[in-house]
Amino acid sequence: MFRLPNNALVYHVLKDGKTDTLILPIEGYGLWSVLYGYLAVDKDANTIKGITFYAHAETPGLGGEVDNPKWKALWPGRKIYDDKGQPALSVIKGNAGDPKTDPHHVDGLSGATITSNGVSNLMKFWFGKDGFGPYMAKFKASQGRS
Ligand SMILES: Cc1cc2nc3c(=O)[nH]c(=O)nc-3n(C[C@H](O)[C@H](O)[C@H](O)COP(=O)(O)O)c2cc1C
């Protein structure tokens, strides 16, 4: 059985009274646990500013490397969506390029492919049509209007 809430709490970080950053809650299965966190996204509704997980029970040194600042530092500048507006970000096996040349990939966590795949899956789900996809599209369309 798969159930989802109808509502989620999304934070807007304001700059000069306008939304500058969106902070969206994310969660999904890794290997041993559900990972709970937040993704910070630029006002373009596409560029990632940061990721953090505040609760999980993955193995320290393996899946637990989601908490490593060096891994988290690989995220800013990456893009959630491809040119067609589909969620495209994934955690690959091995190393990704830099955000400019390889915007849709993040380095895999070594020895932790299952946790890495879990992060890919949660990105795809939460930024797709059953997650925040419609919210992001609506926010993007409202930008520049107010
Ligand atoms: C004690 C123990 C803890 C593990 N913890 C994790 C984990 O947190 N996340 C994960 O993806 N794989 C974990 N693994 C490894 C997985 O079972 C699997 O081998 C691994 O995900 C494969 O990744 P690789 O293809 O990068 O080697 C653990 C294995 C053992 C024996």
Task: Tell me the per-residue pLDDT of 62-110, one tens digit each, with 9 for 90 and over.
Answer: 999 999 999 999 999 999 999 999 999 999 999 999 999 999 999 999 9
**Six-digit token string for 39:** 């993704």
Query: Which tens digits make up the pLDDT trace of 47-57?
Result: 999 999 999 99
CB-CB contact of 91 with 120 (8 Å) = yes
Closest ligand 1 atom to Cα of 111? 26
Domains of the chain, by residue range, sit at 11-140
The two three-digit tokens of residue 80, written as one number: 């959630």
Q: What are the backbone angles phi and psi of residue 55, rounded to the nearest 5°?
A: -155, 135
Do the bridges between strand 105-106 and strand 90-91 make them parallel or antiparallel, or are there none, so unpaired?
A: parallel
Q: How confident is the model at residue 1 (pLDDT cuts 50, 70, 90)?
A: low
The ligand 1 atom at the shortest distance from the C-alpha of residue 59 is 8
Model pLDDT, residue 64? 98
2 HSE (CA, 13 A, CB side): 4
Which ligand 1 atom minimizes the distance to the CA of 93?
Answer: 26
Q: What is the pLDDT of residue 144?
A: 67
Average pLDDT in the chain: 96
Pocket perturbation via mutation, ligand 1, pick of 113, 117, 119 by most ligand atoms within 8 A of CB: 113
